[in-house]
C-alpha cells in the first residue's frame, strides 16, 4: 500500500526525519509513536506532499509519489487528518462532506455555471456520498449544523469524515483521540475499527498507549527523527530502547 525508502527531511541543519524506511500493508492498522518532536507529523507531511523530502523515495501502490503535490496524492487514494482538528468551521456538516468529495468530480466552473448534465450528476453524487459518510461517522442527525458548534469529539468525527469523503484507500490519522474525554475515546476507537472493516488501510499517530496497543497490527517508533523499533504491539512494548526513549520503566507495572 505504501513504502518509504530512506526518506529524510532537513530543516536547515536539523534532521526532522532521517533515513526512514517502513511500509504499510493493505488492510493493516499501523501506529506511529514516539516523543514530541520525534518526526511523526513531519513523516505524514512527507507522505502527503505537504513537505518535499530532502532525500529518499516514497511509493504508493508500487508507483513513486515522492514529488507529487498534495491534491495529486489525494487523488491516488491517500487522505489524512491533522493534529489540530481541521474542518470548514463556518460551513455545515453536509457542506464539509460535499467539499471532501469534490476531489473526485471533473466538472469545471463553466459546467457548474451552466448546469451541464455532468455537473448535475456529480452534484447528486456529492450529496449522496456526503449523506453516506455522515451516517457512517454518526453525524447523520447533524447534517445541517454548522461545524463550529459541534463538540470536540463531533469535530474529530467530521474531520475523519472529510477525509473519508475523498474515497481513500489509505487514511492517515494524526492524533485522532487527542483532546477528547475517556468516554469519547471508545467511540472513536470503534469508528477506526469500522473504517478498517470497510476495507480502508490506516496509519495513525497516537500518544494514548492503550489505544495503540489495542487496535494496531504493527507499531513504528520514532525518536529524534529516526526509526528505533518496529513490530507488533507486544514486541514494541518490550523493546528496551523504546522503554527508555518513550514508554518509561513503569509501563508494564
- Name the one residue in this structure whose C-alpha cell is 530512506: 6
pTM for the model stands at: 0.89
- For 121, residues 6+ apart whose C-beta sits below 8 A from its C-beta are none
- Name the one residue in this structure whose C-alpha cell is 520525534: 38
Do 181 and 71 share a domain, yes or no?
Answer: yes
Write the pLDDT tens digit of every residue in 198-239: 999 999 999 999 999 999 999 999 999 999 999 999 999 999
Amino acid 248: pLDDT: 81
Amino acid 22: pLDDT: 94
Do 205 and 173 contact (CB within 8 A), yes or no? Answer: yes
CA distance 157 to 139: 8
Q: Are strands 29-33 and 63-64 parallel, antiparallel or unpaired?
A: unpaired
Does any domain span residue 82?
no
Write the pLDDT tens digit of every residue in 104-117: 555 544 444 445 66
Does any domain span residue 114?
yes
Do 172 and 249 share a domain, yes or no?
Answer: yes
pLDDT above 90: residue 246: no
Does any domain span residue 83?
no
Q: Is 231 exposed, middle or buried (0-12, 13-18, 19+ CB in 10 A)?
A: middle
**Of the residues 138, 162, 186, the one at which a domain ends:** 162
Structure-block grid coordinates of residue 176? 485522532
Do 229 and 174 share a domain, yes or no?
Answer: yes
In DSSP terms, 203 is beta-bridged to 30, 172
Q: Percent of the chain having pLDDT more than 90?
A: 75
**Choice among 47-56, 112-121, 166-175 with the minimum mean pLDDT:** 112-121
Do 158 and 177 share a domain, yes or no?
Answer: no
Domain, as residue range, for 237: 1-77+168-253
CA distance 96 to 54: 34
Amino acid 221: pLDDT: 96
pLDDT above 80: residue 120: no
**Of the residues 106, 127, 162, the one at which a domain ends:** 162
Do 52 and 114 share a domain, yes or no?
Answer: no
**Of the residues 145, 162, 179, the one at which a domain ends:** 162
Number of domains in the chain: 2
Amino acid at each position: 500500500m505504501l513504502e518509504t525508502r530512506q526518506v529524510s527531511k532537513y530543516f536547515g541543519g536539523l534532521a526532522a526525519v532521517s533515513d526512514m524506511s517502513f511500509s504499510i500493508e493493505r488492510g493493516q492498522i499501523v501506529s506511529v509513536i514516539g516523543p514530541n518532536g520525534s518526526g511523526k507529523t513531519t513523516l505524514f507531511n512527507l507522505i502527503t506532499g505537504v513537505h518535499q523530502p530532502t532525500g529518499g523515495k516514497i511509493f504508493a501502490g508500487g508507483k513513486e509519489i515522492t514529488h507529487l503535490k498534495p491534491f495529486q496524492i489525494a487523488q491516488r487514494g491517500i487522505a489524512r487528518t491533522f493534529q489540530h482538528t481541521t474542518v470548514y468551521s463556518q460551513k455545515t456538516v453536509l457542506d464539509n462532506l460535499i467539499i471532501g468529495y469534490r476531489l473526485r468530480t471533473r466538472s469545471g466552473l463553466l459546467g457548474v455555471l451552466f448546469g451541464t448534465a455532468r455537473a448535475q450528476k456529480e452534484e447528486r453524487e456529492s450529496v449522496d456520498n456526503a449523506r453516506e459518510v455522515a451516517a457512517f461517522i454518526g453525524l447523520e442527525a447533524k447534517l445541517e449544523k454548522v461545524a463550529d458548534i459541534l463538540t470536540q469529539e463531533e469535530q474529530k468525527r467530521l474531520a475523519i469524515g472529510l477525509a473519508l469523503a475523498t474515497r481513500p484507500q489509505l487514511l492517515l490519522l494524526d492524533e485522532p483521540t487527542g483532546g477528547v474525554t475517556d468516554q469519547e475515546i471508545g467511540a472513536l476507537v470503534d469508528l477506526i475499527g469500522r473504517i478498517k472493516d470497510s476495507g480502508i488501510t490506516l496509519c495513525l499517530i497516537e500518544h494514548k498507549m492503550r489505544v495503540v496497543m489495542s487496535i494496531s497490527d504493527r507499531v513504528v517508533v520514532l525518536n529524534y527523527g529516526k526509526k528505533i523499533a518496529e513490530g507488533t504491539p507486544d514486541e514494541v512494548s518490550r523493546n528496551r530502547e523504546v522503554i527508555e526513549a518513550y514508554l518509561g520503566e513503569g509501563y508494564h507495572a
